[in-house]
Structure 1
C-alpha cells in the first residue's frame, strides 16, 4: 500500500476509516518519509482520540473495548515515530483529543449511540474482537449510570475496588508504615460504612518489603499478579519508590500518595500515573532552613544536615542546599552527617559533629523514627541547646514516644515539619479523623502519619466518586487532574492538574513540649 492511497483512504472515510492498520503500514511504506508518517498519525489522532474519549465516558460501552483500541493506536504511534520527541508529542496530542471526547459526552455534546457506531467502525477497520451487544440507551452519559461488569478492569468488580500498598513490617520505618496504613484503612472504613463508592467497597491489601529496595519489586509483583489490585496507594519510602515507580509506570497503573517527599515521585513534567498528597523534601527543608535562619537567628555555618546514607538522605540534603542557594547563601560548606538505613549506629556521625571548630547549633534531620531518636539521645548532653528539626517522614508521634522514654529533657528543642495540621488542634478534619479512628480502631492513638493517610485516602475517594461508576485508570487520572480548590478542612485547598501532581504545598510547624505533646509553631 502506497502512502498516497492511504491518505486518500482517510479522506474518503469520516466515520469508517481503515485507520490503525493503515497507520502502521504507512509508517513502513516505501517512499513515505518519516515526517509524512508522523503527520498522518497526528491527523488520525485528531479523529480517533475524540471517539475513544467519548467511548470512555459512555457507561454503556465496555471498558475492555476502549482499552483494546487505545493499545492499538499507541502501537501505531510507536511504529510511525522513531524519534522520541515526535513520539512524546503525538502521545500528548492523542491524550488531549481523548480528554476532549470525554468532555463532549459529559457536557451533553455527544450522543453515546453515535459513539457506539463510531467505535464499532474503528474496531472493524483493524480486526478487533467483535463488540458485545450494546445496552439500550435512553440518551447519553447524563442518563443513570451502571457499574462496569465484574472482571472488565483489574481490581474492580461490581462489589469492590482493590488497592495495594507496600510498607515495612520490619526495620526502622515499620511504625510509620503501620500508622500510614491505619489512616488509609480508617478512611476506607468510613466510606464503606456510607455505602462505598458507587456501590463498591474499598479494600486495602498490604505487602511487606522491610524498607529494603531489594525486596520492593517482589512485594509489588505479589500485589499486582496475585492480588490483582487496581492501583497502588500509600507505598512508604524514598529508596523503595525508586523501584516501585518504574514498575507502576510500565503497567500504566495508579501510584497514589506515596509516603515520601522525594523527587523520584515528582518529575517535571509529572509522570502520568504518579500523584502526591504531601509536600516535597525540598519544601520541608526550605521551611526548616528559613525558620532556623529567620526565627531562631542561627548562622548558616552553624546548621548541619543529618540523614540516611541513601536516596532519602541525598534528597533531604539537596533540599537544604537548595534552600541555602535560594537565600543567597553558599551551600558548599554545609556539614553532612549520615547513618546507614535500618541501623541505629550513630558513632561516626557523633564523632564528626564533635570535631567541628565552629559549634553546630541546629541540625536538619532527614530520617526515620529510631535513628532520629538515637541521634538525639547520643548528642543531647554533648550539645545543650541544640535544635533538632525533623522532616515529617520521621513519624512525629513515634519520635515523641521514644524521647519521652529517655526523659523530658530529650524533648527540648525538637521540631517536626508536618504535612498535616496539628493533631492536638480542632480543625474539622482532625475532629472527623479522631471520631472515625475511635470507631474503627478503639484505643488507637491518633498521630500525624495516620492523619496524613486518612487525608490522602479521602483525596483519592473524592476523585473516585467524581470519576463515576465506570471506573478505569485513564478516567481516574483525568478526574484527579481536574481537582480544583478541594476544601478538606485543612486551612489549605488541595489542587491537582496535568502540570502539577502534588496536591499540597503547605508545611506546618510543630514543637515538642516537656510532656511529649506537639504544639503548633509559626515557621515564618
Structure 2
C-alpha cells in the first residue's frame, strides 16, 4: 500500500465525523473563537533535556495534519509552544505567559515532572486545564483531588518501577541491585515503585546514586555503583544521562543486567549514540511501538504514522518520543471532538474522563479507556529487550 493510501486510512480512522459535526457556538473560553482553538505547551527547546522537544514537534505536526483536513468541528488548532529549558521557574513564567498573554484555552503535553509540578498550582488556581502532562510522576494520580485540573497521560513511574522489580525477582532473585535515578519527583517515584515491587528483596539494593538533570556527567556515579558489587543496574534519567551511563558502564568493563527507563529508550537518539553493540541486552518497559523496531515494519499503524511523519514532520527523527507526541496529540483531538458545542474548560476536562480510544502506535493489547474513577489514560506496560538491532517484546 502506498503512503498516500495510509494517510487517507489514518485520516479516516482518526478524524471520522469531525467535518460532519456542526460548528460550536461562539465560546467565552479564552483561546476559543469561531475559527480557532489556541492550545499552549511548555517544553525544553533548549538546555540539557532538549531531546524531549521531539514530543512537541510531533504534536504540532499532527495538529497541522488535522488542520489540513478541516480542523475539529470547523476550528483550526493553534499550538503555542514556549521554551522553558527544563527549568521550573521558567516553566511557571512561560505558563503565565501562555494564559495571560497568549490566551490559550488549556495546556497540553507540558514536558517534564519538575516543570509541570512547578506550574501546577498556578494553573489550578485559575482553573486552566493542564492536560496529558509529559511525565509519569505518581503525583498526577496521588494528588488529583487537590489538583483536579492536572492530568498525566503515560503509565506512572511507580508502575514502571514495580514492573522492573517483578522481572528482577523472576529472573535474578538473588541480585545485588544498584540504582541511578534523576533527583526529582520522577526519579524518586521510579525508586519508590522499584522498592515496593521488590518487597523484602529491597534490601538487595546495595547502592543508590542520584544525579541532577543539569549534571555534566554521571561517570562518578557509575564507577561508585560498580564498586558496590552490583550485578543488576536500574537507571532512570534523561536521554543524555542514559547515554553517558551506558557508555561508561561499557568502557569500564562492568556487565550487569541493565534496565533503562522507557522515556530514554529511543534507538536513534539514545542507543545509536552509545553504540548498538554496547547496548545489546538492555531491558526497558514500554507502551508504544518503537518506530525503529523491525518487528513493526509491516504494521499498518506504523506505516500510516511513517507516512504522516514524512509529509508533516519532514526531517524529524521517527523515534519513540515522536510517536509519544503523536499519540498525545491524537488524544487531545479526540477530547476536542467529544466536546462538541461545549468548549468550556470544565467540559474539556470532563471529556478526558470519557475516552475509549485505540491508537495506532500503542502496543498490541493496550487501549485508552478512562472514567471518573479511572481518569489516567495509559496504565499498562510491556517489557522489551534490545537485541543489538531493535527492541523485542519479551512477554505478553
Per the shorter chain, which TM-score range?
0.7 to 0.9
Give the C-alpha shift of residue 223 in structure 1. 1.1
Give 3-state SS (helix, strand or coil) of 1:324's partner: helix
Distance 1:334 1:429, change over 3 A: farther
Match of 1:258 among 107, 122, 133: 133
Q: 2:201 aligns with which of 324, 329, 335?
A: 329
Distance of 2:246 and 2:367 partners within structure 1: 35
Greater gyration radius: 1
5+ long unaligned stretches in structure 1: 1-143
What does residue 375 of structure 1 align with?
A: 245
- 1:159 counterpart residue number: 35
User: Residues 472 and 523 from structure 1, CA distance in 2 versus in 1: closer, same or farther, beyond 3 angstroms?
Assistant: same
Q: 1:415 aligns with which of 256, 261, 283?
A: 283
CA drift of 1:333 comes to: 4.3
Give the secondary structure class of the aligned counterpart of 2:32.
Answer: coil
Structure 2 unaligned spans of 5+: 1-20
The one-character-per-residue Cα deviations of 1:371-416 (angstroms, maximum 9, x if unpaired) are 1111111121434432221112225231123213xxx432222233
1:391 aligns with 2:391: no
Q: How many residues align?
A: 367
Provide, for residues 326-346 of structure 1, a one-character-per-residue CA deviation record: whole Å limited to 9, x for no partner. xx5345845211222222322
Do residues 197 (structure 1) and 72 (structure 2) align? yes
1:269 positional shift: 4.9
**Partners in 1 of 2:128 and 2:51 — Cα distance?**
27
Instruction: Return the offset for 1:427.
Output: 3.9
More strand by share: 2
- What is aligned with 2:183? 309
C-alpha distance 251-219 of structure 1, shift in aligned 2 (>3 A): same
Task: Report the TM-score, using the length of structure 2 for normalisation.
Answer: 0.86
When the two structures are superposed, what TM-score results if normalisation uses the length of structure 1?
0.66
- Give SS of 1:463's match: helix
Q: 2:108, 2:332 within 8 Å by CA — same for their partners in 1?
A: no
Name whichever structure is richer in helix by fraction: 1
Bigger RCO of structures 1 and 2 (CA < 8 A, at least 6 apart): 2
Q: Does 1:341 align with 2:341?
A: no
* C-alpha distance in structure 2 between counterparts of 1:302 and 1:510, whole Å: 21
Determine which of 272, 279, 289 is the counterpart of 1:401.
272
Q: Tell me, what secondary structure is at the counterpart of 1:262?
A: coil
Displacement of 1:250: 1.0
Q: Is the 8 A contact 1:363 1:387 kept in 2?
A: yes
The answer to whether structure 1 residue 170 and structure 2 residue 46 are counterparts is: yes
Q: Structure 1 395/220 Cα, relative in aligned 2: closer, same or farther at 3 Å?
A: farther
- The 3 A distance-change label for structure 1 pair 292 and 519 is same
Distance 1:395 1:240 in 2: 21
Cα RMSD (Å) of the superposition?
Answer: 2.1
